[in-house]
Amino acid sequence: MKQFIVDAFTDQLFAGNQAAVCIVEEFPCDSLMKRIARENNFSETAFVLRDGDIFLLRWFTPAGEIDLCGHATLATAYVILEHIDINLPSVEFETLSGRLTVRRRDDFFEMDFPTYEYKHVPVTEEMTAALGVRPIDAVLSRDLLMVLEREEDVKKLAPDLNRLAGLDGVVQAVTARGTDFDCVSRVFAPKLDLVEDPVTGSTHCLIAPYWSKQLGKTTLNAFQASERTGLLKCIVEGARVKLLGKAVLYSISELMLPHQQTVDPRG
């Protein structure tokens, strides 16, 4: 099984968000894909299978399969369009979140994702205790997004991960209005056995529509203020959001998996 490691949402090595992309002729059993994801120990490992003109795509964290991952989709599209079939102008993925299209757009790769519908929820003492600072707003969809007053609060945040894990949402994100960018954010995922996700495309399906409404604009430049940092351009179009980013190849390797382990003997 060939595996590519890609830094996504960056044009520099050792920045952005790492993703492993495994090219498969058939999907391994779920438990083996989970073990591969744990061995890689990245926030996501993608498994992609070509089916005619469509690519079937699945994403695994070290804790198991998830329904949407932006940076690993970008990484997978980069691998296909730059290293597998360089003549394709775009690639279509069939996923747990439906059909996703990624196309070349100048020096970027443009992903077309569904936005997350969200509802405002009360700011609670549990949120304040988990973050060490009181949010000024909070919204919930698949993920919990807590809005802080200052950009500096986001950058300096040192949350209590155990308390964060007790909050709603698959992941818990914080955001604030930016100075050099429209918004800044950080994303934590203790429920997925991840401390902090460096750059999170899927959560920007929530962050982008939130700030689009707050700022009254549909095109946003977003900065994720993790240690590795990452840049996203977000275009909100009704129930869809386009996420634009770049990617860089770090390595290509061959996973030494005996063929019979496509089906995990331990179940």
- Show pLDDT as tens, one digit a residue, over the chain (267 residues): 999 999 999 999 999 999 999 999 999 999 999 999 999 999 999 999 999 999 999 999 999 999 999 999 999 999 999 999 999 999 999 999 999 999 999 889 999 999 999 999 999 999 999 999 999 999 999 999 999 999 999 999 999 999 999 999 999 999 999 999 999 999 999 998 889 999 999 999 999 999 999 999 999 999 999 999 999 999 999 999 999 999 999 999 999 987 645 544 333
Cα angle 35-37-43, degrees, rounded to a multiple of 5: 150
Which residues are marked as active site?
Answer: 44
Q: How is the chain split into domains, by residue range?
A: 2-112+246-258, 119-238
Domain 2-112+246-258 and domain 119-238 have a common topology: yes
CATH of 119-238 among 2.40.50.140, 1.20.1440.130, 3.40.50.170, 3.10.310.10: 3.10.310.10
Domain over 2-112+246-258 is classified CATH 3.50.50.100? no
Distance (Å, whole) CA 78 – CA 68: 17
DSSP class per residue in 131-148: HSS--SEEEESSSEEEE-
